[in-house]
Amino acid sequence: MIRAVIMMVVLAFPAWAMDPSEMLSDPALEERARALDHALRCVVCQSESVASSNANWAEDARRTVRELISDGSTDEEVFDFFVARYGEFVLMSPRPSGSNWLLWAAGPIMLLLAGMIGFFYVRGRAFAAAPQEEALSPDEAERLQKILNE
């Protein structure tokens, strides 16, 4: 019973992260703001999004997101605002640009490379010559014949 209560409290922490006074009156803008909150990383917690963090910085970030959206900023402009101040780290999913291209491309390149190696290995085994067995020497043939006749 105690475990269930503890589990419910732990799982409810993200719900406590947002203060109702932070919410926008327009539901469409609030939905955009929540999506942006999930796309931004809390620089204090570092492993949580701004939406689920209770840190003071995250509260300020949520407020800033809502202010920027209310002022008419696009999602990209909001991201640019935070990246200019905190770097690419603030994005939960960094942009595929600059030096990040290598990281974004590494997975598909490795998969392609492994597939090519596997293909050529299997193909080479299929066309490899089967090992030839040596014929019996006359002494071995005579000995075999004796064994079979007994």
Nearest residue to 56 via CA among 83, 30, 26, 22: 22
Q: Kindly report the pTM of this predicted structure.
A: 0.56
Are 29 and 37 in contact by the 8 Å Cβ rule? The answer is no
Nearest residue to 42 via CA among 68, 16, 60, 15: 60
Question: Can you give the pLDDT of all 150 residues of the chain as single tens digits?
Answer: 777 656 665 555 554 445 555 666 677 888 888 898 999 999 888 888 898 888 899 999 999 999 999 888 898 999 999 999 988 888 888 777 777 777 778 899 999 999 999 999 998 888 877 777 788 888 988 998 999 987
Q: Name the amino acid, one letter, at 85.
A: R
Nearest residue to 42 via CA among 82, 97, 78, 11: 82
Confidence (pLDDT) at 16: 46
Q: Which residues of 56-95 are buried (b: 16+ CB within 10 A; e: fewer)?
A: eebbebbebbbebbeeebeeeebbeebbeeeeeebeeebe
